[in-house]
C-alpha cells in the first residue's frame, strides 16, 4: 500500500490557502469547521494526482483520514478521491462513504460525497435497498442524500427496464418528500425532476400533475425549467 501521510496532503491543501476566499466560503457555506479557501480547481488536480499515484487501499485510508480532519476542503477532497466509475473491489469505499452520511451537515460536502455514492450505486443497484432506508431518517441530510445520490437514474438517456423500475421507485421517494417543507429537501426534488425532464419529460409532467401543487414554488419552477408547454 502506497500511502502519502495525511499531514503531507493537508499541508498541500494549506499551501493553497486564501484567507479572503475562506472568509467568503465560510459565510456562503455556513461553516463552523475550518475553511482554507482552496479553489475547486486545485482540489480536482490534487484528487486526480492522488488517484493516479495511490492504490485503492491507500486512497480509502487517506480519504478516511482526510474526512476525520474535519477541514472543509479535506472532506471534499476525501469524496473526490472515491468518485470513480470503476472500482474493484468497491465494498471498502462504499462502506466508508455510507459511514459519512450521518455526518452530512452542509450541501457542498454532502453533494460531493453523494456523487461518489452515485457511482457505487450504479455499480451495484441492489444497494438502493439500503438507500431507501435513508428516506425516513430523522436527519434531513440523510433524507436528501437518497435523492442526490440517485441522480444517475434521472440522467439515463436510454434506460433498460430494470433502470426504469428503479427510476419509478426513486420518484416514489420524491413523491413522499413533497410534504417535507425543508428547503434542501424541496431543492433536491426540483433538482431530480429537472434532470429527469431532459430525458423523460412525460414522467416529469406526471409527477408534477400529481404532486406539483404541494411543492414549494421554487422547487416546482426548478422541476419544470426544461419542460416545453
What number is the average pLDDT over the span 173-199? 98
Residue 83 lies in a domain: yes
Query: Do 110 and 183 fall within a single domain?
Result: no
pLDDT of residue 1: 46
Residue 137 lies in a domain: no
CA–CA separation, 184 and 177 (whole Å): 11
Residue 139 lies in a domain: no
Residue 5 lies in a domain: yes
Last residue of a domain, one of 80, 102, 123: 123
Q: Give the list of residues 6+ apart from residue 131 with CB closer than 8 angstroms, or none.
A: 121, 145, 146, 149, 150
What number is the average pLDDT over the span 59-74? 96
Domain containing 189 equals 153-229
What number is the average pLDDT over the span 160-184? 98
Residue 71: which of 41, 101, 43, 45 has the closest Cα? 43
Q: Per residue in 82-91, pLDDT tens? A: 999 999 999 9
* Percent of all residues in the chain with a pLDDT value above 70, rounded to a whole number: 98
CA–CA separation, 144 and 180 (whole Å): 11
Query: Do 95 and 181 fall within a single domain?
Result: no
Residue 146 lies in a domain: no
Q: Per residue in 106-160, pLDDT tens? A: 999 999 999 999 999 999 999 999 999 999 999 999 999 999 999 999 999 999 9
pLDDT category of residue 199 using cuts at 50, 70 and 90: very high
- Structural domain total, the chain: 2
* Whether the Cβ atoms of residue 107 and residue 121 lie closer than 8 Å to each other: no
Query: Do 199 and 106 fall within a single domain?
Result: no
* Whether the Cβ atoms of residue 189 and residue 144 lie closer than 8 Å to each other: no
pLDDT category of residue 205 using cuts at 50, 70 and 90: very high
Domain CATH for 115? 1.20.1660
Query: Do 159 and 118 fall within a single domain?
Result: no
pLDDT of residue 228: 85
Query: Do 27 and 117 fall within a single domain?
Result: yes
Query: Do 2 and 113 fall within a single domain?
Result: yes
Query: Do 83 and 174 fall within a single domain?
Result: no
Residue 140 lies in a domain: no
CA–CA separation, 149 and 47 (whole Å): 20
* Whether the Cβ atoms of residue 130 and residue 98 lie closer than 8 Å to each other: yes
Query: Do 157 and 108 fall within a single domain?
Result: no
Residue 142 lies in a domain: no
pLDDT of residue 2: 52
Residue 119 lies in a domain: yes
CA–CA separation, 100 and 116 (whole Å): 12
Query: Do 90 and 180 fall within a single domain?
Result: no
Give the predicted TM-score (pTM) of the model.
0.94
pLDDT category of residue 4 using cuts at 50, 70 and 90: low
Query: Do 118 and 162 fall within a single domain?
Result: no
Amino acid at each position: 500500500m502506497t500511502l502519502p501521510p495525511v499531514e503531507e496532503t493537508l499541508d498541500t491543501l494549506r499551501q493553497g490557502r486564501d484567507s479572503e476566499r475562506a472568509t467568503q466560503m465560510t459565510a456562503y457555506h455556513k461553516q463552523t469547521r475550518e475553511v482554507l479557501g482552496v479553489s475547486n480547481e486545485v482540489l480536482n488536480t490534487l484528487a486526480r494526482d492522488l488517484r493516479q499515484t495511490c492504490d485503492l487501499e491507500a486512497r480509502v485510508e487517506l480519504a478516511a483520514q482526510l474526512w476525520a480532519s474535519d477541514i472543509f476542503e479535506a472532506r471534499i477532497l476525501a469524496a473526490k478521491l472515491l468518485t470513480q466509475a470503476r472500482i474493484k473491489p468497491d465494498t471498502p469505499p462504499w462502506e466508508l462513504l455510507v459511514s459519512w452520511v450521518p455526518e452530512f451537515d452542509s450541501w457542498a460536502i454532502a453533494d460531493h460525497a453523494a456523487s461518489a455514492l452515485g457511482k457505487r450505486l450504479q455499480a451495484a443497484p441492489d444497494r438502493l435497498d439500503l438507500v431507501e432506508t435513508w428516506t425516513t431518517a430523522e436527519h434531513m441530510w440523510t433524507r436528501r442524500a437518497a435523492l442526490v445520490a440517485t441522480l444517475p437514474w434521472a440522467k439515463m438517456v436510454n434506460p433498460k427496464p430494470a433502470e426504469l423500475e428503479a427510476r419509478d421507485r426513486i420518484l416514489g421517494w420524491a413523491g413522499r418528500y413533497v410534504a417535507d417543507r425543508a428547503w434542501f429537501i424541496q431543492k433536491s426534488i426540483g433538482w431530480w425532476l429537472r434532470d429527469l425532464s431532459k430525458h423523460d419529460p412525460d414522467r416529469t409532467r406526471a409527477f408534477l400533475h400529481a404532486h406539483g401543487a404541494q411543492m414549494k414554488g421554487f422547487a416546482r419552477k426548478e422541476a419544470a425549467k426544461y419542460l416545453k408547454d
